[in-house]
Structure 1
């Protein structure tokens, strides 16, 4: 048996924008289906929102997303609730997304693109446990950890 795990992100009216941004960062293929595509009358407010979307890249990156019906965030993404204090990560969030690569350069390039409009929690750079590590909350309120696998780490 073979299984995969994919993060499925729930947005409040900006799933299309988020998926398009993640596609610009990670590349690959993007698919977006709206409630209207599934038959919701086009005149209803949610018809243009995303009922299912996905970004999938050949390197294994994959994320799915949708817009929760009837909910829209005024003014964009929620404020990040993750911060670093005294060497500790403090958060009220139920999860982070982690992207791990093999080289400082490849992960650094992803960091630069993902950091556009983000709140940096810990700048990307060398860490005690990895050749490079960084943490940010993107413009959509999703917190990401990007790091480079240490020689002893197992994915």
Structure 2
């Protein structure tokens, strides 16, 4: 058994995927728009969702996570209550990823050496997703 994060971007999923692909080397391995889903007479999608992402799978290093635009609810709040933890192979790579995520975001804990890591930082990116970026203790 394993657990995978599933992140809802409330209408900004394609923008987020483009950003993570460019800045973090993520690979979108599957993407389906709402208009590409089989018809469901009992649950028809709202027309304004047609070109939004219903489901995507993303490979980032050895991890696969999933994403969606969700329901694109204008009253939907920001993401909270969790963080994605990105573990890089070395401190320079971790700092590069941290800085990319901090661009347009909000640094919660600056990237720096800590007692448990040669480099660690916490940031909320421009999409409201919280990240903990670090290096393994033995790297």
Q: TM-score range by the shorter chain?
A: 0.7 to 0.9
Q: Which ranges of 4 or more aligned residues in structure 1 deviate by more than 2 Å?
A: 3-6, 39-43
Supply the RMSD in Å over aligned alpha carbons.
2.6
Matched positions, count: 134
Q: Is the 8 A contact 1:108 1:124 kept in 2?
A: yes
For normalisation by structure 1, the TM-score amounts to 0.74
Separation in structure 1 between the aligned mates of residue 116 and residue 102 of structure 2, nearest angstrom: 22
1:25 to 18, 23, 28: 23
1:48 to 34, 51, 61: 51
- The unaligned stretches of length 5 or more in structure 1 are 81-92
Q: Which has the higher contact order (CA 8 A, sep 6+)?
A: 2
Separation in structure 1 between the aligned mates of residue 103 and residue 72 of structure 2, nearest angstrom: 28
Deviations 1:61-84 (A, max 9, x none): 43211122251369xx83x8xxxx
Q: Please show how residues 74-153 of structure 1 align to structure 2 within 5 Å.
A: 78=78, 93-151=80-138
Deviations 1:127-153 (A, max 9, x none): 1221111000001111100011113x9
More strand by share: 1
Separation in structure 2 between the aligned mates of residue 73 and residue 117 of structure 1, nearest angstrom: 22
More helix by share: 2
1:107, distance to aligned residue in structure 2 (A):
1.1
Separation in structure 1 between the aligned mates of residue 111 and residue 9 of structure 2, nearest angstrom: 26
For normalisation by structure 2, the TM-score amounts to 0.82
In structure 2, the residue matched to 1:87 is none
Separation in structure 1 between the aligned mates of residue 69 and residue 111 of structure 2, nearest angstrom: 30
- The unaligned stretches of length 5 or more in structure 2 are none
